[in-house]
Chain A
Amino acid sequence: MRISTSAKWVLGFISGLVLLFIYLPLFVVLINSFNANKNMVWPPPALTTEWWGKAFKSLGLWEAVATSVEVAIASTLLALVLGTLVAMALSRYKFFGRQVVSLLVILPIALPGIVTGIALNNAFRTILGLQLTMATVIIAHATFCVVTVYNNVMARLSRMNPNLQDASADLGAGLWTTFRLVTFPQLRSALFAGGLLAFGLSFDEIIVTTFTAGNGVVTLPIWIYDNMFRPGQAPVVNVVAVVLVLASMIPIYFAQRVSAVQDS
């Protein structure tokens, strides 16, 4: 499609404006993490590294980071196994109720967090009679983490030649060998992409976590929320925010590289 020079300029200007709108606040957070004024007045009267030092010395913060990473890794692993299994079953076999199962698997990502949170809180405590712990958070997160894995694996399987699995069996490989040597290598990048998204979903989840976390289970989003309005802690939260922005560039970089490899 060809567009006129003036249209190019207008579109470029609007795109720049939108990007500015997204990234300017992040930039402000970055500057504020060095703002010498406790109440973050703008422009900063002076710069300091005090908040960075405080952040790195905060035990609660580090514990929250560790908890979040633990929860995200566990729920991602759970999602990888379950999502792959259900995608393989639904893509390979045609059976009554297949569409319903597919819908039920995808639904949790569309459900409002507050609904999932209340429902699981009820289910864990009232129906199953369980104590809320870190495990309950992991299970709760896995319910929607499964969706990203499922969608990615499903898309890959639908593009994969079904004869590959037949060919493997034909050459003497049993089911597990076929999965290990043929199916899994084909799925690897889809699992990586799905797992990355699942990790991200779990890592910044706050609503469902609030309803399913036991006493003393503090994930990073909950820690930030708790400290946001505590006197003197806001600058430290800014530091955490900056670190998270930088950290989230790593998975995005890998995800783009994986999809670039697939396209070539």
Chain B
Amino acid sequence: MRSDTTPAIKLVGLQKKFGSTIAVENLDLEIRQGEFFSMLGPSGSGKTTVLRLIAGFELASAGTVFLDGKDVTQSAPFDRDVNTVFQDYALFPHMNVIENVAYGLRVRGVGKAERLAAAAEALATVQLAALASRKPSELSGGQRQRVALARAIAVRPKVLLLDEPLGALDLKLREQMQIELKELQRKLGITFIFVTHDQEEALTLSDRVAVFNNGRIEQLGTPRELYEEPASSFVAGFVGTSNIFSTSESQKLVGTSSVVSIRPERLRLSEAASHDTGTVSLAGQVQEVIYLGAAVRVIVLCEQIPITVLHQFDYGPAPEREASVFVSFKRTDLVSLGN
């Protein structure tokens, strides 16, 4: 039975051990149809292993993988209706671009004329129609990336798995490919599962993000939820930058006895303390001023605790080093992270 409410991917109690190390620990996760879903985490956090478990390159030590409601835990990769875009693209070096893209249809027994037409269409989708007869070695990194995408979408999978696909590209190209990926996903309407260690990339592209740490999901939510309501100090620190205060530090600074965090852009600098209700003002001394172009990052030492402030030029001139300032913020902007 499947309907639009059947999750595209459902993982139940999924576990993967390599020898005695546990790469993925008892994972439960549902990914919706047509969703742009990111798995974000540092290297070794288990996100790529989860992707490989979904693709079928690894077999689970325990647990179940459902693809579109069907149990595929024991199925080989070629029996799963998902396709992968590899980090190193893994294009077949002895085939030209169009042969690469047509490969999935070829092994499915689709006739030559039909598969070349479908491959040409997929190539057009990624704007590479002109390079159909080139060899992969004659392409730039960004072009290879597009060929890998075209090859994966040519077989019209239900789910597309992307393993750090933009990792090898330079910044400008990466930003351009991010936009194209998002457009492509909207146009095709298929589920994208995107693995990345780049939090900015995950936030800008995704409908939902799972933050991985030590083989477990630390937090699952929309980019907005992760950024504004981080559930742990790991998430607060990994997603964007945060000032995270330990229990003893927050006791000193704001008089609470739990770990709290606050984003640098929520802090304001002033020469005089603010007396508005609900506003906290801390006296401190400017330790470092770092010019960022659109803003300056100011590190202020309050009670010997360094606090990072993102200071916009709209708010006034940037303070000098060693200057005495007040760091002010609304108490409601503090996020409690428990003890």
Contact indicator A161/B90 (Cβ below 8 Å): yes
Chain A residues whose C-beta falls within 8 Å of the C-beta of B103 in the assembled complex: 168, 171, 173, 181
Known: A169-B76, A186-B93, A186-B94. A163 touches B107 (CB 8 A): no
Chain A residues whose C-beta falls within 8 Å of the C-beta of B76 in the assembled complex: 169, 174
Instruction: Tell me, in angstroms, the Cα distance from A169 to B106 when the chains sit together.
Output: 13
Contact indicator A177/B93 (Cβ below 8 Å): no
Chain B residues whose C-beta falls within 8 Å of the C-beta of A182 in the assembled complex: 92
B81-116 Cβ-contact flags toward A at 8 Å (1 or 0): 011101010111110000000011011100000000
**Interface class of chain A by DSSP:** helix
B155 on the A face (CB < 8 A)? yes
Whole-angstrom distance from the CB of A24 to the nearest CB of chain B? 44
Contact indicator B90/A173 (Cβ below 8 Å): no
Chain A residues whose C-beta falls within 8 Å of the C-beta of B56 in the assembled complex: 169-170
Chain A residues whose C-beta falls within 8 Å of the C-beta of B91 in the assembled complex: 167
Chain B residues whose C-beta falls within 8 Å of the C-beta of A172 in the assembled complex: 78, 104, 107-108, 155
Known: A171-B103, A172-B108. A185 touches B78 (CB 8 A): no
Contact indicator A171/B107 (Cβ below 8 Å): yes
B262 on the A face (CB < 8 A)? no
Whole-angstrom distance from the CB of B90 to the nearest CB of chain A? 4
B62-93 Cβ-contact flags toward A at 8 Å (1 or 0): 00000000000000111000111010101111
Contact indicator B90/A166 (Cβ below 8 Å): yes
Contact indicator A171/B83 (Cβ below 8 Å): yes
Chain B residues whose C-beta falls within 8 Å of the C-beta of A170 in the assembled complex: 55-57, 77-78, 82-84
A114 on the B face (CB < 8 A)? no
Range, interface on chain B: 20 to 34
Chain B residues whose C-beta falls within 8 Å of the C-beta of A186 in the assembled complex: 93-94
Whole-angstrom distance from the CB of A157 to the nearest CB of chain B? 14
Contact indicator B83/A181 (Cβ below 8 Å): no
For residue B148, which residue of chain A has the nearest CB? A167
Chain B residues whose C-beta falls within 8 Å of the C-beta of A14 in the assembled complex: none
Contact indicator A181/B88 (Cβ below 8 Å): no
For residue A185, which residue of chain B has the nearest CB? B94
Known: A170-B84, A172-B104, A181-B107. A164 touches B90 (CB 8 A): yes
Chain A residues whose C-beta falls within 8 Å of the C-beta of B84 in the assembled complex: 166-167, 170
Instruction: Tell me, in angstroms, the Cα distance from A47 to B57 when the chains sit together.
Output: 71
B151 on the A face (CB < 8 A)? yes
Instruction: Tell me, in angstroms, the Cα distance from A172 to B154 when the chains sit together.
Output: 12
Known: A168-B103, A171-B103. A163 touches B86 (CB 8 A): yes
Contact indicator B88/A171 (Cβ below 8 Å): no
Instruction: Tell me, in angstroms, the Cα distance from A181 to B106 when the chains sit together.
Output: 10
Contact indicator A169/B90 (Cβ below 8 Å): no
Contact indicator B151/A171 (Cβ below 8 Å): yes
Contact indicator B90/A163 (Cβ below 8 Å): yes
- Which of A161, A171, A172, A173 has most B Cβ within 10 Å? A171
Which residue in B88, B104, B107 is a CB contact (below 8 Å) of A161? B88
Which residue in B77, B82, B155 is a CB contact (below 8 Å) of A166? B77
Contact indicator B78/A174 (Cβ below 8 Å): yes
Contact indicator B78/A169 (Cβ below 8 Å): yes
A167-193 Cβ-contact flags toward B at 8 Å (1 or 0): 111111110010001100110000000
Instruction: Tell me, in angstroms, the Cα distance from A181 to B109 when the chains sit together.
Output: 13
Chain A residues whose C-beta falls within 8 Å of the C-beta of B86 in the assembled complex: 163, 166-167
- Which of A163, A172, A182 has most B Cβ within 10 Å? A172
- Which of A161, A168, A169 has most B Cβ within 10 Å? A169
Instruction: Tell me, in angstroms, the Cα distance from A186 to B93 when the chains sit together.
Output: 8
Chain A residues whose C-beta falls within 8 Å of the C-beta of B92 in the assembled complex: 164, 167-168, 182
Chain A residues whose C-beta falls within 8 Å of the C-beta of B106 in the assembled complex: 181
- Which of A163, A166, A170 has most B Cβ within 10 Å? A170
Instruction: Tell me, in angstroms, the Cα distance from A161 to B78 when the chains sit together.
Output: 19
Instruction: Tell me, in angstroms, the Cα distance from A173 to B86 when the chains sit together.
Output: 16
Instruction: Tell me, in angstroms, the Cα distance from A177 to B107 when the chains sit together.
Output: 7
Chain A residues whose C-beta falls within 8 Å of the C-beta of B93 in the assembled complex: 186
16 more contacts with CB within 8 A, not counting A166-B90, A186-B94, are A164-B92, A166-B57, A166-B77, A167-B90, A167-B91, A169-B56, A169-B78, A171-B83, A171-B104, A171-B151, A172-B104, A172-B155, A174-B76, A181-B103, A185-B94, A186-B93
Q: Which residues of A contact B (CB under 8 A)?
A: 161, 163-164, 166-174, 177, 181-182, 185-186
Question: Which 4 pairs from chain A and chain B are nearest by CB?
Answer: A171-B104, A163-B90, A167-B90, A173-B107
Q: What are 10 inter-chain pairs, A to B, with CB distance below 8 A?
A: A164-B90, A164-B92, A166-B57, A166-B84, A168-B107, A170-B83, A172-B78, A172-B108, A174-B76, A185-B94
